[in-house]
Structure 1
Amino acid sequence: MIDPAAVKEDRKKKGQSFEPLDLIPSITEEVRRLSVGGSSFDPDAVTETIYEIISACHRQYWIPLHDRRQIVKRVRDALLGLDVLQPLVDDQEITDIMVNGADHIFYEKGGKIYASPLTFESEESLQNLVQRIVGAINRTVNESNPIVDARLSDGSRVNVVLPPVSLSGTVLTIRKFRKQPIRMEDLIRWGTATQRTAAYLEQAVRDRKNLFVCGGTASGKTTLLNILSSYIDPAERVITIEDSAELRLEGLPNVVTLETRNANMEGKGQITMRDLIKTSLRMNPDRIIVGEVRGAEALDMLSGLNTGHAGMSTGHANSCRDMLRRIETMVWMGADIPLEAIRQEIASALDLLVFVEKDRDGKRRIKEITKVGSYTNGDVALTTLMKREGDREVWQQGS
């Protein structure tokens, strides 16, 4: 059992003052020691054990009511939530959380990044949290496999990089999912889209056009893809394919969600994006949505779109034309195909490219809509339908 006097004396030897909240690490470890749960703690059992330990400590050392409540919350967060990150997760205005080692935590709010005064108790505490997150979806991260994508129970996207790949300690990045889905009306209110752009894209989805949303990191690609999916006919059978499932398709009863899987410790059992795209074509889909195309799976995606299936996807690029070149490169990674054949495949498969961008002021905007035309004179014909210049949209006449 914990001895508050011993904890106080230990801190005194280190030249540190003592307050009741300093008991939190010891109480957390005591709950773990009592084997209240292991990797999946029972909330009621955890809470009961915390109260019992605090009561025992309180009999030896007076702990104010406010501190007792704080201890209960923070120990519960450490064992059941996301430890010191829980207040940031609970803040609905925060969109991203970035941890660069145990002592450096940042978050994005309103499009701007701020440093947080919060820190983990130790690097070990941070790694315990990481293992709990990835273990919850049966993934592994360790020195031999130091990079992994995962997700939280609410769908928030997680990326982990461990030392020695990271020289900054354990790096944990969380892209939060809003509890309330973002609607197109929200994008219009925020200035991300205009009424005309929204109406055009809605009609494109209803007309079963093949759309590719492109942009930089955190530009809002997945958010826009989620919104566009809300215009899909509920009668359609939709297959979603992602590295880490984060799309939330509402109002669609016939949805199948597929997620890649990393290889196990023996290097077996890996399921790639290419595997899932090929499999999805045998599942009688009306529409295929690939969360993000990053490599050789681009070839399989184009092949699927060219066999009568409507589809949507996203990718990283600096413009619509840049996205086209990146798709060419990705297809090359998958097969030794002449550039002419690749461009013909792209021209036949895609209808529209939509470019989104995050400005320096932190605001996200739909900057460009480009129509993908036929293969002509050795290249894919592109027609810019809309281009945003400042706060003004310039549309091609007749669009």
Structure 2
Amino acid sequence: MTGRARDEIPYGGTAAGGLLDAVRQRLAESGAEPTPARVAAALRAQGRLLGDAEVLGAAEELRCELVGTGPLEPLLADPSVTDVLVSAPDRVWVDRGGGLELTGVAFADAASVRRLAQRLAAVAGRRLDDARPWVDARLPDGTRMHAVLPPVAVGSPYLSLRVVRPKAFSLGELAAAGTVPPGGDRVLRALVQARQSFLISGGTGTGKTTLLSTLLGLVGQRERIVLAEDSAELRPDHPHVVRLECRPANQEGAGLVTLEDLVRQALRMRPDRLVVGEVRGPEVTSLLAALNTGHAGCGTVHANAAADVPARLEALGTAAGLDRAALHSQLAAALSVVIHLVRDREGRRRVAEVDVLERDSAGLVVPVPALRWGEEAFAYDRGWPRLLMLIGGAL
């Protein structure tokens, strides 16, 4: 069944809800996989005889709920979908790169959403119940999930799924999609080949991880890339990638592995490129220290504008015990460039600007725009001579 056809069927639409509930309970109690034969046997046990098409439909629906992602499965299988958001049983949204769209997918009720969220959390080895009503986890296929249960979530459980594609986009594909303006791929390629350390900034859903995965694929084939991520989302197309992922504490509060721990371990793994998937905590101090000891590196950071990146890093560094002057000294020597991404009014992701980092008269690091988005090509700004000096040999 195609994703579009399935979009029009409320979950529970292939057979009477009460009948499927009884079959669901029987299969769950037995622990048996919902194969067509077992579903047919369970249906017969309920005193109902159905045709082949009805049995196959019921089997597929139950398999999706008990094994897959329920009615969300066709949405997640759509290669254009990056996010699936459930805000009510009948309010399921997707993002296909052009902003949020309401789908025709519907769950039978809030309890169905809760069951799916709890089962996905269990698959990820996490707990989701009244005592711990939210969870942030990665599913075995790489999909990032976040769920919140009532009463914290008002009215219905909320479920958010971020799809991680198995293969990174090429720069050409990003240019064709309008993320990079014509000719901009040459500048970004030169930035990577010149081994300049950089950050990709932007808001949630602007494509920071997507662009970083693409740029890491341009790293020289003989270089070793070590990734440190809170949740493994980067998929660079590169032959030598070492992946490290954080681990939450168990129910007894033991076993926590933080991003700062991973950065420290990464330094002992001979990285040619040290990558932090998202800089958002005390790991900023370890990363800046590493980039000041001969390592090239990059990562992403949440910021509303490129001009806000130093303030964002300053806040993170202060929380980690690094004073303002020390942070700016480390930052000036560690990072050279900020690439800032935005989503325009139509929801399209694009590189809004490329800034170089320079010190002002007070000794503080400030981003200076070098390139700005243009429909036909990047427009040059006052920081372009500095950027050209950094990457000129590779351009």
Indicate whether the TM-score tops 0.5. Answer: yes
Query: Amino acid of the residue matched to residue 283 of structure 1?
Result: M
Q: Secondary structure at the match of 1:224?
A: helix
Q: Distance in 1 between matches of 2:299 and 2:97?
A: 26
1:386 aligned to 2:371? yes
Instruction: Identify which of 69, 84, 96 aligns with 2:83.
Output: 96
Cα deviation code 1:136-181 (max 9, x no counterpart)? 2323333443332222333222112223332243211011133553
Q: Give the superposition deviation at 1:352.
A: 0.8
Q: Kindly tell me: are residues 376 and 281 of structure 1, through their superposed partners in 2, closer, same or farther at Cα, counting changes over 3 Å?
A: farther
Query: Amino acid of the residue matched to residue 372 of structure 1?
Result: L
Q: Kindly tell me: are residues 309 and 328 of structure 1, through their superposed partners in 2, closer, same or farther at Cα, counting changes over 3 Å?
A: same
Q: Secondary structure at the match of 1:281?
A: helix
Query: In angstroms, what is the RMSD of aligned CA positions?
Result: 2.3
Q: Give the superposition deviation at 1:110.
A: 4.2
Q: What corresponds to 1:177 in structure 2?
A: 164
Q: What corresponds to 1:357 in structure 2?
A: 342
Q: Kindly tell me: are residues 95 and 207 of structure 1, through their superposed partners in 2, closer, same or farther at Cα, counting changes over 3 Å?
A: same
Q: Distance in 2 between matches of 1:361 and 1:375?
A: 36
Query: Amino acid of the residue matched to residue 360 of structure 1?
Result: R
Q: Give the superposition deviation at 1:351.
A: 1.1
TM-score, normalised via structure 1 length = 0.86
Q: Distance in 2 between matches of 1:274 and 1:180?
A: 27
Q: What corresponds to 1:348 in structure 2?
A: 333
Contact 2:216 2:238 in 1 (8 A): no
Q: Distance in 2 between matches of 1:276 and 1:73?
A: 41
Q: Give the superposition deviation at 1:128.
A: 2.7
Number of equivalenced pairs: 371
TM-score, normalised via structure 2 length = 0.86
Instruction: Identify which of 300, 312, 324 aligns with 1:339.
Output: 324
5+ long unaligned stretches in structure 2: 1-12, 389-395
Q: What corresponds to 1:210 in structure 2?
A: 197
Cα deviation code 1:263-297 (max 9, x no counterpart)? 22222221111111122222222211111111222
1:26 aligned to 2:22? yes
Contact 2:97 2:349 in 1 (8 A): no
Q: What corresponds to 1:220 in structure 2?
A: 207
Q: Distance in 1 between matches of 2:55 and 2:305?
A: 54
Contact 2:136 2:146 in 1 (8 A): yes
Q: Kindly tell me: are residues 166 and 368 of structure 1, through their superposed partners in 2, closer, same or farther at Cα, counting changes over 3 Å?
A: same
Query: Amino acid of the residue matched to residue 274 of structure 2?
Result: I
Q: Distance in 2 between matches of 1:375 and 1:302?
A: 19
Q: How does 1:214-293 map to 2 (within 5 A)?
A: 214-253=201-240, 255-293=241-279
Q: Kindly tell me: are residues 180 and 350 of structure 1, through their superposed partners in 2, closer, same or farther at Cα, counting changes over 3 Å?
A: closer
Q: How does 1:140-179 map to 2 (within 5 A)?
A: 140-179=127-166
Cα deviation code 1:284-332 (max 9, x no counterpart)? 2221111111122211211111121111110111111111210111111
Percent identical residues: 31
Q: Secondary structure at the match of 1:247?
A: coil
Q: Give the superposition deviation at 1:198.
A: 1.1
Q: Secondary structure at the match of 1:114?
A: strand
Q: What corresponds to 2:53 in structure 1?
A: 66
Q: Distance in 2 between matches of 1:239 and 1:93?
A: 28
Query: Amino acid of the residue matched to residue 280 of structure 2?
Result: R
5+ long unaligned stretches in structure 1: 1-17, 37-41
Q: Give the superposition deviation at 1:236.
A: 2.0
Q: Distance in 2 between matches of 1:83 and 1:163?
A: 20
Greater RCO structure (CA 8 Å; 6+ sep): 2
Q: Distance in 2 between matches of 1:260 and 1:140?
A: 17
Q: Kindly tell me: are residues 196 and 212 of structure 1, through their superposed partners in 2, closer, same or farther at Cα, counting changes over 3 Å?
A: same
Q: What corresponds to 1:113 in structure 2?
A: 100
Q: What corresponds to 2:352 in structure 1?
A: 367
Per mean C-alpha deviation after superposition, the further-off stretch among 113-122 and 208-217 is: 113-122
